[in-house]
Structure 1
Amino acid sequence: MKEKILIVEDEFIVANDLRIILVKAGYNVCGTASSVDAAKLLIASKKPDWVLLDIILRGEETGIDLAWELREKKIPFLYISANTNQSILEAVKETQPYGFMVKPFRERDLLVMLDIARYRYTLENKEPDTIPEVLPNTEGIIGLKDVLEKIYVVAPSESAVLILGESGTGKEKTAHAIHHLSARRNMPLVTINCAALPASLIESELFGHEKGAFTGANSKRLGKFEQASRSTIFLDEIGELPLDSQAKLLRVLQEKEIERLGSNQTLKIDVRVIAATNRNLEKEVADGRFRLDLYYRLNIFPIELPPLRKHKEDIEELANYFLQKYAQKAGKKVNSISEQAMKQLIQYNWPGNVRELEHLIERNVLMATGNEINRIEMPEMTTVYEDESRIKTMEEIEREHIMKVLKTCNGKVFGPGGAAEILNLPATTLYSKMKKLGIKQGYV
């Protein structure tokens, strides 16, 4: 018998359809609930292994509210919902579910999502070897302990990895780190930027072509998947791939074989796939721009890279790392950044993330005339204040107030005596504010 599943869904017909599908597939459905209060009673009495969770339920509390409690109880969950607006998806992502399916759905998609979710949960919760303080082959990934731990866990496996994050957060460095810690490290990582491919050449670039396959095909060409045989392929900006190309990529991932353009011969491939995007793929799926089945195939083990403004505590270490790197490269003796210059870096909001910081440090190393960088010419969009008596912005005041409350609660956000209760805010609202203001529970 497979795991016990609790269904939390306020529409009887949908809940019943889910129950029938799951029982037919061999799962033990231990109950259904139409509200958060009813779900809590069933969770206490039935102790489910998994929860399928709708967002809009009967009563005042939502599925997102229940999700935070499930996280505290370490019960894995998946969302099944028709709500796909941006604010809902952002709140959903904060709760770190193991899947999100948009209604209506096919039976096959539900079961595939569950299989992948169960595999991810097993992979994330297996007893790892001792993780070293400094991982080899993770050059340039500074701080981000959670990210490094995920890299260490997933690298030795053959699982597909989906790296998520804004431009400049280090997605390609993360892909290189996974590859270089894997059993395929002795073969080169093959990289392709899906956003840079003309639509007419995507299939040829990915899968290759035979001589004469189309006008201008003057010789046989091996595609990126063939070049990555027994190695890893990194599909950067996968969210930019057109729908027809997504269908062809899905077939390759499912069948583990390719056909060159102009050939009727299938070739078996042994390739590990790492993909990356700065798009919200759940939103792209909901809007019909990205295939749900391809999303499942790629999203087996997601790694989300936070923007630099959300981990400013790492700026000093990152800046000094880039300082040493580019001073050595330029043959210069500059070896420190002044306190005032570092303050400038920390106060800036970094829309270009780590890449922007790296380029800024490189320029200032080249311009430095002594052993220390004393002041940095920041981009015009930021304002750096030297007067400590200046009037603070509302955002700064709000951040300081939330930080103060969190410290009095020893970092507890949810539940009795938590910061959400003291601030008289729903926990979901407080988590959203913390994310916006760059506050992490780990350093309050």
Structure 2
Amino acid sequence: MTDRPSDVSAREVLWRFGPMIYGPTVLFAVGEGAVIPLIPLLAAQLGADVALAALVASALVVGQLVGNIPAGWLVARFGERVAMTAAGLLALVGVAGMAFAPQLGLLAASVFLIGFCAAAFGLARHSFMTTRVPLSFRARSLSLLGGTFRLGMFVGPFAAAALLAIFGDEHAAVWFFGACLVATVLLVMLGPDPEKSIAAPVRPRDAAIRPMSEDTGEPVSGSIPTVERAGVFRTMWRYRGVLGKLGLAAASLSAVRSARQVVLPLWGVSIGLDAQTIALVVGISGAIDFALFYASGQVMDRFGRLWAALPAMTLMGAGFLALAFTHDLDQASMWFAMFAAVLGVGNGLSSGILLTLGADTAPTTDPAPYLGSWRTLTDAGGATAPLLVSAIAAVSSLAIATGAMGVIGLLGALAFVRWVPRFVPRTR
């Protein structure tokens, strides 16, 4: 199937999304990116050792993981705009808690709350674009959404460094995040309501959805509902097939992405590089990643989802697997830089894939509950990977842990080959 022809161009719709979706995304991500590197430092100021500081920092990921399903309910019941506003306001409470936390428990709870709100904010944007973006350029719009988030996370640490240089206090970055949240909430509240200003495109697929309510033959008065909201858990059960197959493949992609952020710095330390060199290599890899984010959407819209997912997973899986054999070579630093670049290319080509596949497989009339389950799976993959790398490295070596992530990447590539054509046909 395809969308009905429209006289609205891709450029026009994407431009109209700027103040509604992309602008708030950049603001939220810049503020969050400024705070994330400083969470362990804030924990250390309250007396945490290295392990406890890492645990406090992980509360952000845990909050995001836990928040996806409640966010699905919130968006389905109250709409994207209300959910984004509520998430921004509640995140301000978390910022205040981080700024004034007198002990570690409150700091961890505040970080958890911010992660919870980030899940609601992200799911609201995802759900809106699933229902409002025409299928013909869905992948490009969602890749651009992923790119704006990456831009914010890339700029945020530099903003934090500048604030530290000016004020000499880590809390300055926390208040900067608060200012970004205020601007985000104002933009969402005072800007045009995207749910009213852009109508959802009508697709033939919508008419094929079977009603949830049965005809009992009893006389009724008033309007007769044709589609009933299924709710979060009923939606999970109805779509257990795609979630348990394509969803697990998506989780493997999220795991490989997350492992890249952990393995590269550890690998540089393990082969004896100094911090400046490691930062340079990781930064170049991140720059390559960011430069390719829109290319992924172009490939998916023009050739199909698999043509972006398969090269991305193959490059990252093969990159990790090959890197695992270079630890003790004479030119280990050269191989490290080369495979870091390969991983950057693979990750860049995967930009927007998880968002797009989630949108493709979501029910068109009420996608939020489904997307909550989809994002829970992908976030779980990302949260599990660092723990897996740490556990394998503890009992064996970093090289074996890196190779294991490569195997997961290649198995994930096979899973995409198997399940993408089944659940996401080339034409819909």
- Structure with the higher fraction of residues in helix conformation: 2
Assess same fold via TM > 0.5: no
User: TM-score of the superposition, structure 1-length normalised?
Assistant: 0.21
User: TM-score of the superposition, structure 2-length normalised?
Assistant: 0.21
Q: Radius of gyration: which is bigger?
A: 1
Q: Which has the higher contact order (CA 8 A, sep 6+)?
A: 2
